[in-house]
Amino acid sequence: MATRYTREHEWIRLEGGVATMGITPYAQEQLGDIVFVDLPEVGKKLAKGDEAAVVESVKAASEVYAPIAGEVIEVNSALTDSPGMVNESADGAGWFLKLKPANPGEVEALMDEAAYQAYLETI
């Protein structure tokens, strides 16, 4: 499955019924050096648009919102000790959490790569 994006600069990738999410490289560039990531508890149910995590950088703290509804089934606990992984690989090893989607079809409604790149050119 291709990666999908939100206007708030989260990305999500659905694979085998599990949705992995994080923030985009654009978002981490805007934040600067990330020093802390506050992740939700496994088992937490998120509605689309709910605060899913908080990222703190040397510049600011920023909320990360759930692009779709679902239940948190895993968090990237490596970020607790190494939040800089988000700077190094925002759309890879710096992922935040994995969700069991309430409605996998919600992913399709998000922007694809081309639409997200076009959106970035407008901001």
CATH number of the domain that residue 21 is part of: 2.40.50.100
Structure tokens at 118: 């076009």
The total domain count for the chain is 1
The set of residues, in sequence order, having a beta carbon less than 8 Å from that of 13 and lying 6+ positions away, is 1, 2, 3, 4, 19, 20, 21
Give Cα separations from 12 to 35, 45, 59, 60, 94 (angstroms).
22, 16, 25, 23, 12
Q: Which domain holds residue 41?
A: 4-120
pTM: 0.96
Q: Model confidence over 69-100: pLDDT tens digits?
A: 999 999 999 999 999 999 999 999 999 999 99
